[in-house]
């Protein structure tokens, strides 16, 4: 189970990393085209916003949860006895499961709606379909929620990092 | 009634944060429950359904991952060592020359990286052992690096400033320009602290450099430092002359960092993957909090709490100075316990309407908030920069000793904040 979780979270984060590289290359190509050939690459800002930004913001969420990299305030946790720390960790994981679950379900509904509507943007009279990007959100929230669920049940993923600063 | 719900929401948020619920989850949960209790489940579901996508699909926001990528890459490729060598060659003749070189190198690296933690880690690894072997007190050496690290978020590019600019809807470039003024002033104030300490306590800050401390020639130092100088010049030059937007500056800077690192033989597959994973994990951690903060802003808007606080503050007939000092105190307290992005994003929904109503310059406020949050990086009990320096280089200095040595730098920070309040126009010197 741990291996499957690692593979899925790493694979999703890898897609996010590819989005970062594509974002860098695409924007650099646009800068060069604009300054050397005086022609901008059409739709750069739209592709950046709709594809790369969505992928790199949400897809690494599962790995962020797995590595316990979410921003939080460590005010009382460090002074609590070990048993309470573990209990609190599971309670927090349960709350996260609920939030990710609702987010995943609702963004799934939006994704299905976009798919049926064939959501697209117009770039210089050309249709660019953006409905696939809507599916990245439920995928990311479901994966992150699953990691939290596992942490809640058996405290497996990220267990070795529990006491990380 | 709705204002009461706003207060309850703020209290619930505080409780969840104390229980170590991630800031993003706490913000989303409180906003959802709050909106559902006021307007019903339909609008609450609608906000949850649409906010994540509409927030993240932003061109302006894409500057954040690009500058993170550039900073992490410059850090891993070791561009900082050249800057430190150059600073030493130029400044070692001064009393406390090594510590002053450390501040100068931190300021230089800040022009490549937008994070003070990266700055403290990378400079600390090099500078602390050298300062200790040069006769500096361990605590003071670590404190110098931790204080210098705060320049990372003040001197552009700065991730905190980009996030503030987006939330406050003000020009990121203007905040960056203000950041240069305050960053340079902070660096000079730290230099004054070092010089003063060298005269008062020569046992912890030597007045003269150890013989043979640095044998490198200026030409060699310049040759080693050129990648960092060229990169910073190109990125900031392009940004402030209007050739690049912030995203373009970050993308071109990242590309150049990769190319130069490859050219110098410092780019490996493992390092590239490590840098990319650091970039996406940090971006996600920040943006998911920002999604929560966007929802929380909507919730506060619906409750009318922000407007209520604006009116209540006006009713108290507090002077503008008193209001600013109250906000300064709140950020200093938050900074003692919270990570800067969390503190920034949970407070902006409340403070921005108040600052707007007072007609205070948003650019000035943005730079002030970033400075205050950075002070929080070196104050106990949770001074992240101090923790980082101790972890990478200060194993033999106790946390207490480092925090004690940080005090003179905090006095310098208080002076800089006072200057900003007394002469707010200084932030707008460059525009």
pLDDT tens-digit series, residues B289-337:
999 999 998 898 899 887 788 778 777 878 889 989 999 999 998 888 7
Residue B225 resides in a domain:
yes
Chain A environment of B16 (Cβ under 8 Å): 95
Other residues' Cβ atoms within 10 Å of the Cβ of residue B57: 20
Nearest CA in chain A to B238: A31
Residue B234 above 90 pLDDT? yes
Region for residue B108 given its phi and psi (left: phi exceeds 0; alpha: psi -120 to 50; beta: otherwise): alpha
Report chain B residues whose CB lies below 8 A from the CB of A163.
none
Q: What is the dihedral of CA B258, B259, B262, B263, to 10 degrees?
A: -150
Residue B242 Rama label (left phi>0; alpha psi -120 to 50; beta): left
**What are the boundaries of each domain within chain A?**
2-163
For the ranges B21-30, B52-61, B223-232, which has the lowest average pLDDT? B223-232
Q: Is residue B28 part of a domain?
A: no
B215 band by pLDDT with thresholds 50, 70 and 90: low
Predicted pLDDT of residue A163: 34
Query: Would the pLDDT of A156 be above 60?
Result: no
- Indicate whether B347 belongs to any domain: yes
What would the two tokens of residue B420 be? 């900003």
Q: Which residues pair with A129 in a beta bridge?
A: A120
Cis, peptide link before residue A37, omega less than 30° from 0: no
pTM (2 d.p.): 0.88
Contact of B162 with B172, CB cutoff 8 Å: yes
According to the model, what pLDDT value does residue A155 have? 60
Question: Which one has a higher pLDDT value, A37 or B393?
Answer: A37
Peptide bond into B157 cis (omega under 30): yes
Domain range enclosing B401 = 63-267+304-428
Nearest by CB: B58 against A20, A53, A75: A53
State percent of chain B over pLDDT 70: 98
Q: Strand, helix or coil at A121? A: strand
The sign one gets for the Cα dihedral A144, B63, B342, B43 is negative
Answer whether residue A159 shows pLDDT above 80: no
Distances (CA, A) of A153 to A61, A87, A94, A103, B348: 20, 11, 9, 21, 36
Total beta-carbon pairs less than 8 A apart between chain A and chain B: 175
For residue B378, pLDDT over 80 is answered with: yes
Q: Tell me what the mean pLDDT of segment B165-189 comes to.
A: 95
Q: What angle do CA B108, B113, B115 make, to 5 degrees?
A: 115
Q: Which letter does DSSP use for residue A50 in this model? A: I
Instruction: Return the closest-CA partner of residue B340 out of B307, B280, B382, B311.
Output: B382
Min Cα separation A155/chain B (Å) = 16
Residue B176 is predicted with a pLDDT of 95
B62–A52 CB contact, under 8 Å: yes
pLDDT at residue B92 tops 90: no
pLDDT band at B213 (very low <50, low <70, confident <90, very high): low
pLDDT at site A76:
74
**Phi, psi values for residue B274, rounded to 5°:** -60, -45
In B, which residues are within 8 Å of A77 by CB distance? 20
pLDDT value, residue B218: 86
Mean pLDDT, residues B96-121: 90
Could you tell me how far CA B30 lies from the centroid of its own chain? 27
Interface test with A, best of B41, B56, B166, B279 (most A CBs within 10 A): B56
| Closest residue of chain B to A28, computed from CA coordinates | B252
Domain count, chain B: 1
B118: its two tokens: 């990266």
Per-residue model confidence (pLDDT) at position A165: 28
Q: Which of A57, A123, A143 to mutate to test the interface with B (most CBs of B within 10 A)?
A: A57
Q: Is residue B41 part of a domain?
A: no
- In the prediction, which pLDDT does A160 show? 43
Query: DSSP readout, B9-49?
Result: HHHHHHHHHHTT--HHHHHHHHHHHHHHHHH-HHHHHHHHH
- Give a yes or no: residue B174 inside a domain: yes
The predicted complex's ipTM stands at 0.91
How crowded is residue B318: how many other Cβ atoms within 10 Å of its Cβ?
A: 14
Question: Where is average pLDDT lowest: A76-85, A125-134, B29-38?
Answer: A76-85
């Amino acid at each position: 189970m741990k291996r499957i979780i690692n593979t899925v979270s790493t694979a999703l984060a890898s897609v996010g990393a590819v989005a970062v590289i594509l974002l860098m290359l695409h924007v650099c190509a646009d800068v060069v085209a604009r300054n050397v050939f005086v022609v901008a690459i059409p739709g750069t800002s739209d592709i950046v916003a709709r594809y790369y930004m969505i992928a790199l913001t949400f897809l690494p969420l599962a790995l962020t949860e797995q590595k316990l990299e979410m921003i939080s305030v460590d005010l009382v946790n460090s002074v609590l006895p070990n048993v309470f720390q573990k209990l609190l960790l599971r309670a927090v994981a349960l709350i996260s499961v609920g939030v990710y679950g609702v987010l995943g379900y609702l963004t799934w509904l939006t994704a299905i709606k976009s798919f049926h509507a064939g959501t697209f943007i117009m770039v210089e009279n050309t249709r660019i379909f953006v409905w696939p990007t809507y599916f990245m959100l439920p995928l990311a929230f479901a994966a992150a929620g699953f990691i939290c669920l596992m942490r809640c049940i058996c405290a497996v993923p990220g267990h070795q990092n529990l006491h990380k600063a | 009634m709705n204002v009461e719900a706003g207060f309850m929401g703020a209290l619930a948020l505080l409780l969840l944060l104390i229980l170590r619920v991630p800031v993003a989850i706490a913000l989303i949960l409180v906003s959802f429950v709050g909106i559902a209790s006021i307007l019903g489940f339909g609008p609450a579901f609608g906000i949850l359904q649409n906010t994540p996508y509409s927030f993240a699909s932003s061109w302006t926001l894409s500057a954040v991952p690009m500058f993170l990528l550039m900073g992490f890459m410059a850090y891993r490729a070791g561009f900082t060592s050249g800057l430190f060598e150059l600073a030493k060659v130029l400044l070692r003749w001064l009393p406390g020359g090594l510590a002053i070189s450390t501040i100068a190198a931190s300021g230089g690296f800040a022009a490549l990286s937008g994070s003070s933690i990266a700055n403290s880690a990378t400079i600390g690894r090099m500078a602390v052992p050298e300062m200790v072997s040069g006769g500096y007190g361990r605590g003071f050496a670590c404190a110098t690096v931790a204080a210098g690290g705060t320049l990372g978020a003040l001197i552009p590019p700065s991730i905190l400033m980009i996030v503030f600019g987006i939330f406050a809807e003000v020009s990121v470039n203007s905040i960056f320009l203000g950041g240069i003024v305050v960053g340079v002033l902070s660096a000079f104030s730290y230099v004054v602290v070092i010089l003063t300490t060298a005269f008062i306590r020569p046992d912890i800050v030597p007045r003269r450099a150890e013989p043979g401390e640095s044998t490198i020639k200026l030409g060699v130092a310049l040759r080693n430092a050129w990648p960092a100088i060229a990169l910073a010049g190109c990125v900031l030059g392009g940004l402030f002359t209007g050739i690049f937007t912030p995203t373009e500056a970050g993308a071109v800077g990242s590309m150049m960092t990769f190319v130069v690192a490859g050219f110098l033989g410092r780019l490996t597959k493992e390092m590239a993957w490590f840098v990319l994973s650091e970039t996406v994990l940090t971006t996600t951690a920040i943006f998911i909090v920002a999604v929560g903060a966007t929802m929380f802003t909507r919730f506060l808007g619906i409750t009318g709490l922000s407007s209520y606080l604006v009116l209540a503050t006006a009713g108290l007939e507090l002077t503008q100075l008193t209001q600013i000092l109250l906000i300064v105190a709140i950020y200093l307290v938050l900074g003692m316990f919270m990570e800067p992005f969390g503190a920034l994003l949970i407070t902006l929904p409340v403070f921005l309407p108040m600052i707007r109503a007072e007609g205070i310059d948003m650019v000035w406020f943005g730079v002030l908030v970033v400075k205050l949050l950075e002070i929080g990086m070196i104050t106990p009990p949770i001074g992240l920069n101090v923790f980082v320096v101790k972890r990478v280089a200060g194993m033999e200095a106790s946390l207490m000793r480092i925090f004690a040595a940080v005090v003179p730098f905090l006095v310098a920070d208080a002076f800089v904040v006072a200057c900003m309040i007394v002469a707010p126009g200084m932030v707008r010197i460059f525009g």
